[in-house]
Amino acid sequence: MSKFLLPTLPYNENSLSPIISSATVDLHYGKHHQAYYTMLNNLIENSEYESMSLDEIVIKSFQEKQQKIFNNAGQAWNHNLYWNQMSPNGKTIIQSKLSSKIEESFESFDNFVQQFTTASLGVFGSGWTWLVEKDNTLAIMGLPNAENPLAYNQHALMGIDVWEHAYYLDYKNLRGDYVKAILENLINWDFVENRLS
Ligand code: MN
Residue 140's H or E segment, with its range, is strand 137-144
Q: Is residue 57 classed as helix, strand or coil in its secondary structure? A: helix
CATH assignment, 22-84 = 1.10.287.990
- CA 146, chain centre distance (Å): 10
The per-residue pLDDT for 115 is 98
| Contact predicate 162/128, CB 8 Å | yes
Ligand 1 center from residue 103 Cα (angstroms): 29
Q: How far apart are CA 138 and CA 136, in angstroms?
A: 7
Ligand 1 center from residue 126 Cα (angstroms): 9
In terms of CATH architecture, what is 97-194?
A: 3-Layer(bab) Sandwich (3.55)
Q: How far apart are CA 184 and CA 143, in angstroms?
A: 22
Read off the pTM: 0.96
Ligand 1 center from residue 166 Cα (angstroms): 5
The per-residue pLDDT for 1 is 54
Residue type, 56: E
Residue 155's H or E segment, with its range, is strand 155-161
DSSP character for 89?
Answer: T
Provide the pLDDT confidence category of residue 89 given band limits of 50, 70 and 90.
confident
The per-residue pLDDT for 95 is 76
First and final C-alpha spacing in the chain: 35
Residue 77: Cβ within 10 Å count: 22
| Contact predicate 122/141, CB 8 Å | no
Ligand 1 center from residue 21 Cα (angstroms): 14
Ligand 1 center from residue 179 Cα (angstroms): 13
Q: Helical H runs in 28-66? A: 34-44, 54-63
Give the model confidence (pLDDT) of 93-144 as tens digits.
777 899 999 999 999 999 999 999 999 999 999 999 999 999 889 999 999 9
Residue 65 exposure: Cα atoms within 13 Å on the Cβ side: 0
Domain ranges of the chain: 22-84, 97-194
Give the model confidence (pLDDT) of 15-54 as tens digits.
999 999 999 999 999 999 999 999 999 999 999 999 999 9
- CA 13, chain centre distance (Å): 17
Ligand 1 center from residue 31 Cα (angstroms): 10
Q: How far apart are CA 43 and CA 74, in angstroms?
A: 13
